[in-house]
Amino acid sequence: MKKIKVLRVDYSGNNMNLKRFEDNPIEQFKLWFEKAQKSNVIEPNAMVLSTIQKNNTPTSRTVLLKEIDKNGFIFFTNYDSRKSKNIKNNKYVSTLFLWKKIERQIIINGICKKISKTKSEKYFKSRPRKSKIASWASIQSSLLESPSVLLKRFQDFENKFLNKEVPYPNNWGGYIIIPKSIEFWQGKSSRMHDRILYSKNNNLWNKIRLYP
């Protein structure tokens, strides 16, 4: 095994022209996301979401982006989960998209809040049946005695909803991250990376270039 300190990748990205970046970073995100999809990045919608716990320490996990609208970025989860409790206590979050295949990274900082129940129900109905059942079976972030207990819960709900439409669970739904800042990072040779930062001030976006 190689020593950690010698692990190194020299990136090969091109220069980013600040003037060619969209005025709205959400629109710029869509362009980069499309590029990631066309480049066959595995799960380009996977994002590391960081929240703040009651003791003011951060905690992170990977969730899946499911929608982008004009106001922000939407994901879905169990409202009784640890992340949801953290968001209830502190609405400020940070999320990170890392697309190593195209040597790009995006960091989004902002405010997180629940979307409407109507919108959450609409998305829930579009999910695969087994994913719907899993939403009922998992008591997310709670102590699990053994994998067999979870499997039995899944089977019990599968039987309960046999030949029926799986109903929407009231403790499950969506959040939107309303961005306050978005940073676009492009890897380049010799660690001379490009960083473009958008910050919102009085509802207007300002973009600047940062040192790597």
At 70 the pLDDT is 95
Q: Which domain holds residue 33?
A: 8-128+170-210
Q: Is 134 a domain residue?
A: no
Q: Is 163 a domain residue?
A: no
42's tokens: 């595995």
At 14 the pLDDT is 85
H-helix segments, the chain:
25-38, 82-89, 117-126, 129-137, 147-160
d(C-alpha 59, C-alpha 51), whole Å: 6
Active site residue ranges: 191
| Count of Cβ atoms closer than 10 Å to residue 207 Cβ | 19
Q: Is 15 a domain residue?
A: yes
d(C-alpha 114, C-alpha 123), whole Å: 14
Q: Is 147 a domain residue?
A: no
Q: Is 158 a domain residue?
A: no
| Count of Cβ atoms closer than 10 Å to residue 181 Cβ | 16
Q: Is 39 a domain residue?
A: yes
* CA 61, 158, 143, 170 torsion-angle sign: positive
Q: Is 3 a domain residue?
A: no
**pTM score above 0.75:** yes
User: What CATH number should be reported for the domain holding residue 102?
Assistant: 2.30.110.10
The count of structural domains within the chain is 1
**pLDDT truncated to tens, each residue of the chain (212 aa)?**
888 988 888 888 888 899 999 999 999 999 999 999 999 999 999 999 999 999 999 999 999 999 999 999 999 999 999 999 999 999 999 999 999 999 999 999 999 999 999 999 999 999 999 999 999 999 999 999 999 999 999 999 999 999 999 999 999 999 999 999 999 999 999 999 999 999 999 889 999 999 99
